[in-house]
C-alpha cells in the first residue's frame, strides 16, 4: 500500500499507480511461493528518516520514519499505537493477539503450499493452534 500511496502522490495517475501495485503484488507472490516471508523492514538511511513516511502498522496513519518504532512482533508503529501495544494483555486481548499472530504466520505457510485461509484444512489447523496456544497460556506465570 505504501508503494501505491507514493506512486499516486507522485503521478496522480490511476493507471500508473495500479501498474506499480500489480508489479509489487507479483514480486510478493513470487517471494511467498519461494517460501520467503514478506519483508516488513525499512531501508531508510539516517539522512532519509526525517523526510520519508511509512504507514503505522497499528492505525495506518502515514508517519515520518523517525517517529516509528517496532513493537514486540517487529511491526512499525507510531508512538500512540506503540504504547498501546505494550500494555499487558489479558483475557480476550490475549486470544486476539494469538489469533492475529497465528493467522499471519499460517497465511504465509498456506500460500506457500497453494492453499488459502478459507481452506477447510487450514481453518482446522488454525483453530487447533489457537486452542493449543490459549490452553498453554494458562501454564505461564506473568513473568514468562
pLDDT at residue 144, rounded to an integer:
41
Please state the rounded mean pLDDT for residues 39-48: 75
Distance CA 142, CA 88 (A): 9
CA dist 93 and 102 (Å) reads 14
Q: What is the pLDDT of residue 141?
A: 43
- Flag whether pLDDT at 140 surpasses 80: no
In a domain, 142, yes or no: no
Same domain (yes/no): 14, 43: yes
**Model pLDDT for residues 50-62, shown as the tens digit of each residue:** 888 888 877 778 8
Does residue 81 share a domain with residue 34? Answer: yes
**Is the same domain home to 14 and 75?**
yes
Q: Are residues 68 and 101 in the same domain?
A: no
Range of the domain at 41: 2-85
Statement to judge: residues 66 and 101 lie in one domain: no
Q: Is residue 128 part of a domain?
A: yes
Same domain, 12 and 81: yes
Please classify residue 63 by burial: count the beta carbons closer than 10 Å to its beta carbon, then call 0-12 exposed, 13-18 middle and 19+ buried.
Answer: buried
109 and 72 within one domain: no
Residues 73 and 58 in one domain: yes
Give the mean model confidence (pLDDT) for residues 11-37: 79
43 — pLDDT class (breaks 50, 70, 90): confident
Percentage of the chain beyond pLDDT 70 is 78
Q: What is the 3-state secondary structure (H, E, C) of 56-109?
A: CCCCCCEEEHHHCEECCCCCEECHHHHHHHCCCCCHHHHHHHHHHHHHHHHHHH
> 69-97: per-residue pLDDT in tens?
887 767 788 888 888 766 555 566 667 77
Task: State whether 24 and 45 are in the same domain.
Answer: yes
Pair (129, 65) in one structural domain = no
| Interatomic CA distance for residues 136 and 47, integer angstroms | 45
Residues 13 and 78 in one domain: yes
Read off the pLDDT band of 67 (50, 70, 90): very high
* Residue 144 falls inside a structural domain: no
Look at residue 31 and tell me whether its pLDDT is greater than 60: yes
Domain final position from 68, 85, 102: 85
Mean pLDDT score of the chain: 76
Q: What is the rounded average pLDDT of the residues 104-109?
A: 77
- Specify if 66 maps to a domain: yes
Judged against a pLDDT cut of 50, whether residue 32 lies above it is answered with yes
Amino acid at each position: 500500500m505504501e508503494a501505491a500511496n507514493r506512486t499516486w502522490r507522485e503521478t496522480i495517475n490511476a493507471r500508473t499507480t495500479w501498474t506499480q501495485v500489480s508489479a509489487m503484488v507479483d514480486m510478493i507472490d513470487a517471494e511467498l511461493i519461494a517460501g520467503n516471508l514478506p519483508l516488513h523492514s525499512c531501508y531508510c538511511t539516517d539522512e532519509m528518516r526525517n523526510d520519508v513516511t511509512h504507514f503505522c502498522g497499528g492505525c495506518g496513519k502515514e508517519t515520518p520514519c523517525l517517529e516509528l518504532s517496532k513493537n514486540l512482533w517487529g511491526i512499525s508503529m507510531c508512538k500512540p499505537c506503540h504504547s498501546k501495544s505494550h500494555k499487558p494483555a489479558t483475557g480476550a486481548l490475549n486470544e486476539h493477539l494469538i489469533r492475529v499472530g497465528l493467522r499471519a504466520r499460517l497465511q504465509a505457510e498456506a500460500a506457500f503450499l497453494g492453499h488459502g485461509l478459507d481452506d477447510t484444512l487450514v481453518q482446522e489447523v488454525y483453530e487447533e493452534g489457537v486452542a493449543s496456544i490459549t490452553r498453554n497460556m494458562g501454564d505461564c506465570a506473568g513473568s514468562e
